[in-house]
Structure 1
Amino acid sequence: MKHTVVRLALVTLVATLLAGVPATSASAGTATTATTAERGSRVITRTVEFQVVNTNATRVACEADQQAYRVRARIVGPRREVLSPDAPRINVLVHGLATGSWFWNLRSKRSFDYATQLARRGETSVVIDRLGYGASTLPNGDDTCLGAQADMLHQIVQKLYSGLYVYPGRPGIDPPKAQHVVLHGHGVGAAIAQVESATFQDVDGLVLMSWADAGSSQRAVEEARQTSQLCATGDDYARYGQTNREFRELLFATAPAGVQRKAARLHAANPCGDALSLSQMLAGSEALADEIKEPVLLMYGGKDVLIRDGAAQDQADSYSAAESVTLRTIAGAGSALPLERTAGKTQRQVVRWLRSTFN
């Protein structure tokens, strides 16, 4: 564990930068076979695994342990693509703090299962547990950081292009190679996707939800400060949203009670390396925004408590070099757009943008 004095210094840095430059801010069980409902709709799910190195070649100044790890994920898509050697487009779904792959693939609540609903509309997705979350275990949460998370995302993107990832326990069966990759991110996951895209220039587009480099609310600042303080006491994992009630207040405005209860049960602690590198990610993501060249879809909930008023348009304006920028606000929704009552509208907006932008 890092020395307490170093941790306290990092907490001070996080609080100072967040206050001065506002910013926003696991897995349910895996599956290797299709459910009856998925077979009926020609959607299948497979567990996949990526070998990555926990290293940081981005401009987000933070340290990782340089060790090799396994990142677990699920590929969800139409049977014809998941079982073929090539997929025309693979969407990589990147979760933020306190969640996990379940955020995009809440299989017990089918209408709110973003990955499956996109698959029913013809889209194939890889839903990852980032290192330190859910099935992608990391013994010491101090050993990674957000810059390394962006680097590992880049490694995953490259392995999707090359086909150098596996179905664990299925030797001789190869998962599909991606012809094109689009990153979808929520909260800090959106910042990770943005840094990956700007740094490595290897994806075709970005779908970014509930993220503004210089636009978080005071509530978001306070939650980040509390998480950092927990890490400063010597913990190597800490929650963003200290209680389940706080967690639900941060994410939801209209999500059904059953969805909120399920999410609260899956509420994950974050690796402290992520929490303590939030200020560096904030600075790096903002500095790199004008280097994004790909089309961008920005999505916000009209009642997102993590984003301050006016921040959405400011964020859209920051992508000065992007091929196109589309800004959508879902009225009445909170931060967790795929899990709100308006989830169907979010799904339709994303699919419409994918088809109009790339097909």
Structure 2
Amino acid sequence: MSTPHPGSTPRTTRRTARTLLAGLLVGALTGALVGAVAGQSVAVADPQRVISREVVFTLNNHNDTDVPCLADGQVHTVAGRLVGPREEVLGHAGSTRINILVHDAGTGGWFWNLQGARRYDYAGQLARRGETSLVLDRLGFDASPLADGRATCLGAQATMLHQVVQHVKSGIYEYVERPGAAVPHGAQVVLHGQGVGAAVAQLEAAEFDDVDGLVVMGWSDAGASTDAITEAARQGVECLSDDYVPYGATPEDFVSLLFATAPGRVRRAALDQRNDTPCGDVTSLLGTVGALNLGTHAVEADVLVLQGGADVRHRHESADAQAGRYRSAESVTSRTFAKAGSALPLEKQAPKVRRTVLRWLDSTYVER
């Protein structure tokens, strides 16, 4: 049996000390991590706390924009769903930032909240980072039916979007299953649009000047490609004898116009939920492009322009050209994702798209 050197500490005592020290370090590190996560609870929500609730708006289908088109002027119910952290969706958090997501021709609210493919659920993934979104079904699509597709137009769609913005700010809308319950109010409202939905969102921001931010995906006022113009003309001809027409003459055309890198399961899901387009939207597209070419400079909100490098509906470099049109905006940021098509939230680059949007939201709107 060895004898400890004078002044030394017995080996068992040293082991005990090291064990205690390691435990203290682990405890301190764990506490720090927990504290850091708790401190970021607004930015990174608990996935288990993310919920979705159906909501409805009572809107007047009339046109108050510079787009020369007519609508029926009747009151309609337009449906949507709130997706976000539980406390915010249920109205317990009071005022918050609400992102209003506006879909393209031929798609629907499902585009932003794709089920069965979590990686491509734009609204759901934003919710896991603390954002609350209102996913709309525009009038004439899915849960917002319209008997006559000629009874609305893109000017009316922008006017109804303006009404939605005002209702969200003042809390004048209802849960489908809990009418009369408190709903979240939008202290900040940011419009996100894709394709024709981006045109509608941009028209609303330009004409009504009541939103804090604008995210423009897959849209260009003056950069439409030959493929996009040809498809618009084809739809216009079909609308001479019908009130709803498909976007894309065939399923294959629909896919090729929207996607470049989306996986097969996402393309199949999109085809399964593909919607015909109201002919009032189709026939007012040219007038909307004209109004935007004259009015885009009036947008004063912060703007984020996102394009796909392989978007067949727009000419190359259209993102930078579009960004240059927002001469009155508080700030303008543009980003092109190489190899991606028009449907950015559903392409393989979707995680990068969301990170870009989240960084922009966090840097532009520090206070929630």
Pairwise same-fold verdict (TM > 0.5): yes
Secondary structure, in 3 states, of the residue corresponding to 1:88? Answer: strand
Secondary structure, in 3 states, of the residue corresponding to 1:41? Answer: helix
1:51-93 Cα distance to aligned partner (Å, 9 max, x none): 0000011111100000000000000001121123524200000
Distance 2:101 2:284 in 1: 21
Structure-2 residue corresponding to 1:282: 289
Secondary structure, in 3 states, of the residue corresponding to 2:174? Answer: coil
Q: Is the 8 A contact 2:59 2:77 kept in 1?
A: yes
Structure-2 residue corresponding to 1:59: 66
Structure-1 residue corresponding to 2:48: 41
Partner amino acid, structure 1, of 2:296? A
Structure-1 residue corresponding to 2:34: none
1:141 to 139, 149, 156: 149
Q: Is the 8 A contact 2:46 2:128 kept in 1?
A: no
1:90-120 Cα distance to aligned partner (Å, 9 max, x none): 0000001000001100021111000000000
Counterparts of 1:286-301 in structure 2 under 5 Å? 286-301=293-308
1:314 to 309, 318, 321: 321
1:249 to 252, 256, 259: 256
- Give the TM-score of the pair, scaled to structure 1: 0.88
How many aligned residue pairs are there?
321
1:302 matched to 2:309? The reply is yes
1:214 to 186, 207, 222: 222
1:76 matched to 2:104? The reply is no
Q: Is the 8 A contact 2:309 2:316 kept in 1?
A: no
Structure 2: tracts of 5 or more residues without a match:
1-44
Secondary structure, in 3 states, of the residue corresponding to 1:211? Answer: coil
Distance 2:205 2:252 in 1: 34
Partner amino acid, structure 2, of 1:157? V
Q: Is the 8 A contact 2:152 2:278 kept in 1?
A: yes
Structure-2 residue corresponding to 1:120: 128
Structure-2 residue corresponding to 1:226: 234
1:136-195 Cα distance to aligned partner (Å, 9 max, x none): 000000000000000000000000011000012313312111111000000111111111
Structure-1 residue corresponding to 2:109: 101
Distance 2:316 2:188 in 1: 34
Distance 1:80 1:178 in 2: 14
Distance 2:48 2:124 in 1: 10
Superposition RMSD on alpha carbons, in Å?
1.1
Partner amino acid, structure 2, of 1:90? I
1:326 matched to 2:333? The reply is yes
Distance 2:179 2:363 in 1: 38
Distance 2:106 2:47 in 1: 33
Distance 1:74 1:171 in 2: 14
Structure-2 residue corresponding to 1:172: 180
Secondary structure, in 3 states, of the residue corresponding to 1:158? Answer: helix
Q: Is the 8 A contact 2:47 2:128 kept in 1?
A: no
Distance 1:305 1:151 in 2: 29
Distance 2:102 2:89 in 1: 19
Distance 1:107 1:163 in 2: 27
Structure-1 residue corresponding to 2:10: none
Secondary structure, in 3 states, of the residue corresponding to 2:63? Answer: coil
Structure 1: tracts of 5 or more residues without a match:
1-37
Aligned pair in 2 of structure 1 residues 201, 40: CA closer, same or farther (>3 Å)? closer
1:158 matched to 2:198? The reply is no
Q: Is the 8 A contact 2:97 2:186 kept in 1?
A: yes
Secondary structure, in 3 states, of the residue corresponding to 1:89? Answer: strand
Partner amino acid, structure 2, of 1:167? Y
Distance 2:98 2:227 in 1: 34
1:351 matched to 2:353? The reply is no
Deviation at 1:39, TM superposition (A): 8.4
Identity of aligned residues (%): 53
Distance 2:71 2:342 in 1: 29
Deviation at 1:40, TM superposition (A): 5.1
